[in-house]
Structure 1
Amino acid sequence: MPKYKHLFFDLDHTLWDFERNSAESLTDIYHNFELINHGVMSLGDFVRVFLEINTRLWNDFDQGRIAHAYIREHRFRLVFEALKVENVAFGSALGEEYLKLLPQKSHLLDGAVALLDYCAEKDYQLHIVTNGFDSIQASKMQSSGIHHYFRHVITNEKAGAKKPDAQIFAYALQAANAHPHESLMIGDNWEADIMGALRFGMDAAFYNPKKLTFDRTPTYDVQHLDDLKLIL
């Protein structure tokens, strides 16, 4: 089994519990802005539609079809359109409030802290590689108490490229003074994390709780973060 020295983690959906933290932020927004008085009759529908649209937008971003700014500016408008609610009056205010609330949430996925403790005890050098915004990702890590585990936090803004582009992986390895053969990418996004790393020449561990299948086999396929301890 390969001996890794550097572990490169994705953040959202891999360590940081995006769905739970996002749902809490949207619940706060729903009540604070009294959205029920503006035609959004169901909190559950509001959260569900937002998560569906947000996932689609980030997939479009990963594929290079839209920019970060488009996500920030348009996702709540798209949510309200899907809910057949006219929200022109405060759509931008909701977007700003969401970006304020979300990074303050601290929930991690089950097993995340135990895994990071294990990796630290084994003297792995840990790094983050994320397509998220610099300031927001830093705040998420501070709020959830995991920032101290990581030597480098590589974002698309720093690298000038986003996963799955080879440039961001090259930038990450250069920053960490690492080589592909001693490095492992760990993430939940098949195209951005896994295929990006494999095409670059790095091994990749697919965090795959939904047991998805694709044409190509990753280096490792795990359904729970605890399973990674058997690899490392």
Structure 2
Amino acid sequence: MPKYKHLFFDLDHTLWDFERNSSESLTDIYHGFELINHGVMSLGDFVRAFLEINTKLWDDFDHGRIAHSYIREHRFRLVFEALNVKNVAFGSALGEEYLRLLPQKSHLLDGAVELLEYCASKDYQLHIVTNGFDSIQASKMQSSGIHHYFQQVVTNEKAGAKKPDAQIFAYALQAANAQPHESLMIGDNWQADILGALRFGMDAAFYNPKKLIFDQQPTYDVQHLDELKSVL
């Protein structure tokens, strides 16, 4: 029998290809809003600035320095400031359009579907634990065709806490009727996914394509999702 019964996955950057889907959404926005006529002269610079600022904002959120609402309200303003664009009157409209477009994108990371199929064939119970927004994460899973693999989808809105807080892991395990010793957290975020799970008493598999090194060791360290099959 396998060691684990319950597998808890992060969604963005672990299964769902956030960078590719985000880049496509930003490309649609760049052309649809004719940003070149508003001083944003390079699509590449626009995408790079957004991804860099968005990553920083989500890191601030993971560490409790800002709220979800701050990300929604300010990220495009910060992008325009970084690009030295003065006219940001349409920033809120871009934010709304981004949140409309993004969940419609369907790209998954290489090996994601194969891994989920493998886990399902081995009768693992699969769940999502994410700090993302309820409706947006649900739409992402529908668009990419993976919603049917998961029994529980736990967000910070449902749990009243976010990773790496112990409360969201406790909520997820209770919802799944699971115990820590029979559960594995799988994610790409060292702070939120891996340290959060380890401190709660769960094993954690670090999806680590960039081969990052930290002082503490995860239970498993993999560079490709396919490597998890040997773990399981």
Whether TM exceeds 0.5 here: the answer is yes
Amino acid in structure 1 at the alignment position of 2:144: S
Q: How does 1:219-230 map to 2 (within 5 A)?
A: 219-230=219-230
Q: Residue 198 of structure 1 aligns with which residue?
A: 198
How many equivalent residue pairs? 232
- Give the letter aligned to residue 121 of structure 1: S
Distance 1:68 1:191 in 2: 17
Aligned counterpart, 2:159: 159
Question: Which aligned segments of 4 or more residues in structure 1 are displaced greater than 3 angstroms?
Answer: none
Separation in structure 2 between the aligned mates of residue 89 and residue 160 of structure 1, nearest angstrom = 33
Q: Give per-residue Cα distances to partners, 1:10-64, cap 9 Å, x unaligned.
A: 0000000000000000000000000000000000000000000000000000000
> Whole-Å Cα distance in 2 between the matches of residues 68 and 16 of structure 1?
20
Q: Is the Cα contact below 8 Å between 2:80 and 2:88 reproduced in 1?
A: no
Aligned match of 1:26: 26
**Which one-letter code corresponds to 1:159 in the other structure?**
A
Q: Which residue in 2 is equivalent to 1:168?
A: 168
**Partner amino acid, structure 2, of 1:50:** F
1:217 alignment partner in structure 2:
217
Alignment of 1:42-121 (within 5 A): 42-121=42-121
Contact 1:77 1:87 in 2 (8 A): no
CA shift, 1:2, in A, is: 6.6
**1:124 and 2:124 aligned:** yes
Q: For 1:230 and 1:216, locate their aligned partners in 2 and report how far apart those are by CA, in whole Å.
A: 22
Map of 2:133 onto structure 1: 133
Shift of residue 86 of structure 1? 1.4
Q: CA deviation at 1:80?
A: 0.1
d(CA) in 1 for partners of 2:88 and 2:96? Answer: 14
Percent of aligned pairs with the same residue? 89
Paired with 1:87 and 1:128, the residues of 2 have a C-alpha distance of 39
Distance 2:87 2:164 in 1: 35
Q: Structure 2: 5+ residue runs without aligned partners?
A: none
Letter in 1 for 2:137: Q
**C-alpha RMSD over aligned residues:** 0.8
Query: CA separation in 2, counterparts of 1:87 and 1:224?
Result: 42
CA-to-partner distance for each residue in 1:192-225, whole Å, 9 max, x for gaps?
Answer: 0000000000000000000000000000000000
1:50-90 CA-to-partner distances (Å, cap 9, x unmatched) read 00000000000000000000000000000000000013220
Which residue does 1:17 correspond to in 2?
17
Kept in 2: contact 1:207–1:221 (CA 8 A): yes
Q: Which structure 1 segments of 5+ residues have no match?
A: none
Whole-angstrom distance in 2 between the partners of 1:87 and 1:215: 44
CA distance in 1, matches of 2:122, 2:29: 42
